Amino acid sequence: MSREKSGAEIVVDTLVKAGVHHVFGIVSIHNMPIVDAISRSDDIEMITARHESSAAHMADGYARASGSLGVVLGSTGPGTTNLMTGLYEAGFSSSRLLAITGQAETSFYGKGKGYVHEAENQKLMLDTVTCSVASPRYVQELESCLRGVIGSILTGRPTPGAIEIPIDLQYAHALESAAPMEKPVSLPPDPEMLSSAVSLIKKSQKRIILVGGGVSTDQARNALKLLAELIEAPVITTANGKGAFPIEHPLHMGNALMRPPIKKLVKEADLLIAVGTRFQAGSDGMKINMELPPMIHVDIDPKVINLNFRAEIGLVSDAELALKGLVKSTYHKGDIQYLQRVQSVVVETNNNMRDGLGPDHAKALDIFSEHLGQGVFFVRDSTIPGYNWGNTLLPIDQPGGYIFPTSGAIGPGLPLGLGVAIATGKKTIIMHGDGGFMFHVGELATASQYQIPVVIVIFNDGGYGVLRGLQSQRFDGRFNETELYTPDFVKLAESMGIPGLYVDCVDDLAEAMNSAMARSGPVLIEINANNMAPINGVVPAPEDNRHEKGSS
């Protein structure tokens, strides 16, 4: 039986029906009723961030780690503009993120009278980074609008959505529906297209499988493993696909697609089965410039099929259902000599990559690898270690267990990791550079306040190391605006109530990581990256930008 509730209570009850347990955000005069309703709920906890952009990234990380809806709450106007970067990143990363914002009173909306936080074109702005935006004008339509946005977020490719709620509607009362939230229906493959895909696999000999972030559940991973074994095909992952295939399995090749010898072998295949990847281009369009063999492309987003590469067969489907459909048939084994060649080249290039890291980064890789137990997520920002060994050699053995800014943004690593840790309740490792860390440094206070179980590891080289290297290559060795003054991160963490550990050389990293992982709350480790032997091809910081502990 329906009963009358305030608009704010209707919002919270609808979130509860959608399975939401946490909301990230900042209280404001334009969302106070919703915050109050959350405080009276036994089912939802609000995590107060220090900036709306950080809150959006936290909700994004929460959604990626949990596979459920992440929710961020902001104010109208400046609060909503601050959400935009997090919504942009979530869209790039196919993340289930719902943004709830306030809006001016309906009697002032569109009048241009200078109402506080007035933002008449807010909906148009949100439309640019979301799949749908609702803007109810009557409290009676609030629930249906919110349900509609949640449904659009959870249908097809995960994409963020938003709703702006005028403040007077949050206080107003209406009847709430007693109907349960409709669960999204997974999209199965078209039977005829599935049959054609099976036929094409049977005709092929040299098969290879490429897996992206669309294989994000244990069930999909199990179906992928069965298919790979049935057709005896090597499995390459993208960076987002790390963990989608068991790393100890002999068919696991890892994130190896962009290595020249592997690209050559992929081109030689007579069939590529691409699952849950949109072939995202790098900063220089590297993947788009590849040559691929005939392809079966499985993706839940029809716009992705034939976007960058022509597919012989496009299966618009949930990855898990498509894989389960493919394994129902019987196949002959693939070309064993081709498989062995791929395996051999992957081992060789892995060894070459490890040698190129130098002794210190190779040691850091091994130390982090030791702590990647079951349920431990690894989150990285846009960093030199992340690009050079995190994306490739770091062993991730669970779907979605490797999380990073897919858009290539600098800075989201810390709040993404905080959201992941809240979702899992387990220790989460966050790897950062010093430059990117300063973007959301205030969230150390959030980590401390809620005792979020994270280990934050900052590789401090005194600047934007990735950009420094690019500048050196492209501007005759000149650096411009990439050298930064950095604080004493250990003292900064301690001032926030977070234990801080300083590692002057990588030989001390193992002890620091053991200590940090054993603690229950947040811990920060600062590594003097300028004392580490450089990675091949990575430009070190200029000598005059290197500093001893406490001198900056």
Quick check: 550 pLDDT over 90?
A: no
The model's pTM is 0.94
Choice among 241-250, 466-475, 543-552 with the minimum mean pLDDT: 543-552
Cβ-count burial of 180 within 10 angstroms (0-12 exposed, 13-18 middle, 19+ buried)?
Answer: exposed
- Token pair in block for residue 299: 């993706």
Structural domain boundaries in the chain: 3-176, 191-334, 354-545
Name 368's Cβ contacts closer than 8 Å, sequence gap at least 6.
378, 394, 429, 431, 513
What's the residue count for the chain? 552
CATH topology of domain 3-176: Rossmann fold (3.40.50)
User: Strand (E) positions, 66-131?
Assistant: 70-74, 97-103
**Interatomic CA distance for residues 250 and 234, integer angstroms:** 8
Choose between 246 and 3: higher pLDDT.
Answer: 246
Question: Closest Cα to residue 465, out of 410, 404, 523?
Answer: 410
> Quick one: pLDDT band at residue 185, thresholds 50, 70, 90?
confident
**Rounded CA separation 241/439 (Å):** 27
**Token pair recorded at residue 505:** 């050389």
| Structural domain 354-545, CATH architecture | 3-Layer(aba) Sandwich (3.40)
- Please calculate the CA angle 34-39-42 and round it to the nearest 5 degrees: 115
Distance CA 253, CA 87 (A): 32
483 phi/psi in degrees, rounded to 5: -100, 130
Kindly report which listed range (115-119, 443-447, 494-498) carries the lowest average pLDDT score: 115-119
Task: State the sign of the Cα–Cα–Cα–Cα dihedral 355, 357, 362, 365.
Answer: negative
Q: Do domains 191-334 and 354-545 have the same CATH topology?
A: yes
pLDDT of residue 286: 55
CA 59, 64, 66: angle at the middle one, nearest 5? 90
Q: Domain 191-334, what fold?
A: Rossmann fold (3.40.50)
Looking at residue 329, its pLDDT comes to 94
What share of the chain has pLDDT > 90, as a percent? 81
Residue 47 pLDDT > 90: yes
